């Protein structure tokens, strides 16, 4: 059943990039956004000596992945946690460093396909959008409590929504009468506030739903902490692959990888000292896109941006 609702994005390319770091017996691989375990299952099958540490904040995903990965027995350790807790998780498991890391960012197939989770603007459901159901912040709570200025900010920053002021104003007006509690109510409000010309450019609620999801789950703040911690955890020769689906995520990943793959030597220094040499080497030029064949096979790969790097030395 899980294979029917989840096709891992750029699976073969991820395996190709990670393979040199995972081929040795006893290699440790971290899937920091485990989801339903599609990428991890393929890697465990491809590399018989591989040990997996799978992390996800979504308990539904963990449950599905546990069943899917059961055939791999004690090679699998699953942890319910947010990805930025990697250092704490590895310490708790007695793992000093890892050989490979994968992050498949954004909302998962499971979250999108289950209407009751409230992630999709195309299906009516409670305005929830929590990746971790044990957390307190929901989309409905944000819409009910954030000031007009705060709503305008998140729609601008996280959704690049040009009509942010109009939408924020209408939401505040509406909640004085009654709170917004379902996705259909929010979609209706946004559609009514969107000029006809703007509606022809795509679904008017898409960017607002993206912005709310990012704010509910603090996705960008988490990612800002996650990538540096992941890079720190890699052994020399270890590799990281990150799949991003929107520009804000990709920018954070790009900056982190570029910073660690660039010399820290002061400008004008005639000789680069060993301590200034880059710790990482980029494995792809810029951000790699899905092939046309991949997009046809898996439409959710259309916006993906893949970046990857290998650790070439430890900081002094």
> Tell me: the pLDDT tens digits for 254-304?
999 999 998 656 666 666 666 668 899 999 999 999 999 999 998 889 999
Measuring CA to CA, which residue among 183, 217, 218 is closest to residue 203? Answer: 183
The answer, as to whether pTM is greater than 0.85, is yes
pLDDT of amino acid 3: 42
37 annotated as a binding-site residue: yes
Q: Token digits for 294?
A: 């991949």
Q: Token digits for 111?
A: 């979250």
- Structural domains in the chain, CATH included, are 2-104+219-311 (3.40.50.150), 117-217 (1.10.150.170)
Average of per-residue pLDDT values in the chain = 90
111 annotated as a binding-site residue: yes
| Cβ-Cβ contacts under 8 Å for 112 (sequence gap 6 or more) | 119, 120
99 annotated as a binding-site residue: no
pLDDT of amino acid 1: 38
250 annotated as a binding-site residue: no
Side-chain half-sphere CA neighbours of 105 within 13 A: 31
Q: Which residues of the chain have pLDDT under 50?
A: 1-5
Side-chain half-sphere CA neighbours of 210 within 13 A: 20
38 annotated as a binding-site residue: yes
């Amino acid at each position: 059943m899980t294979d029917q609702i989840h096709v891992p994005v750029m699976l073969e390319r991820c395996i190709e990039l990670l393979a040199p770091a995972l081929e040795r017996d006893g290699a440790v691989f971290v899937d920091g956004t485990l989801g339903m375990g599609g990428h991890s299952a393929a890697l465990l099958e491809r590399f018989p000596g591989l040990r997996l540490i799978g992390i996800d904040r979504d308990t539904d995903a963990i449950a599905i992945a546990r069943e899917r990965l059961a055939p791999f027995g004690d090679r699998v350790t699953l942890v319910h946690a947010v990805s930025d807790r990697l250092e704490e998780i590895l310490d708790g498991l007695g793992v000093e460093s890892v050989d490979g890391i994968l992050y498949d960012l954004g909302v998962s197939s499971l979250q999108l396909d289950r209407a009751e989770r409230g992630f999709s603007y195309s299906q009516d459901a409670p305005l929830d959008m929590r990746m971790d159901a044990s957390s307190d912040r929901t989309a409905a709570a944000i819409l009910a409590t954030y000031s007009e200025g705060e709503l305008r900010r998140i729609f601008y920053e996280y959704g690049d929504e040009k009509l942010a002021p109009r939408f924020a104003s209408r939401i505040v007006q509406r909640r004085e009468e009654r709170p917004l509690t379902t996705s259909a109510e929010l979609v209706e409000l946004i559609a009514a506030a969107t000029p006809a010309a703007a509606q022809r450019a795509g679904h008017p609620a898409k960017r607002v739903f993206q912005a709310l999801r990012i704010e509910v789950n603090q996705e960008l703040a988490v990612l800002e902490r996650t990538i540096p911690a992941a890079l720190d955890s890699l052994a020399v020769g270890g590799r990281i692959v990150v799949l991003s689906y929107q520009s804000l995520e990709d920018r954070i990943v790009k900056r982190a990888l570029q910073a660690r793959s660039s010399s820290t030597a002061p400008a004008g220094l005639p000789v680069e000292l060993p301590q200034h040499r880059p710790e990482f080497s980029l494995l792809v030029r810029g951000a790699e896109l899905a092939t046309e064949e991949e997009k046809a096979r898996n439409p959710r790969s259309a916006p993906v941006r893949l970046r990857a790097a290998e650790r070439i030395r430890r900081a002094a």
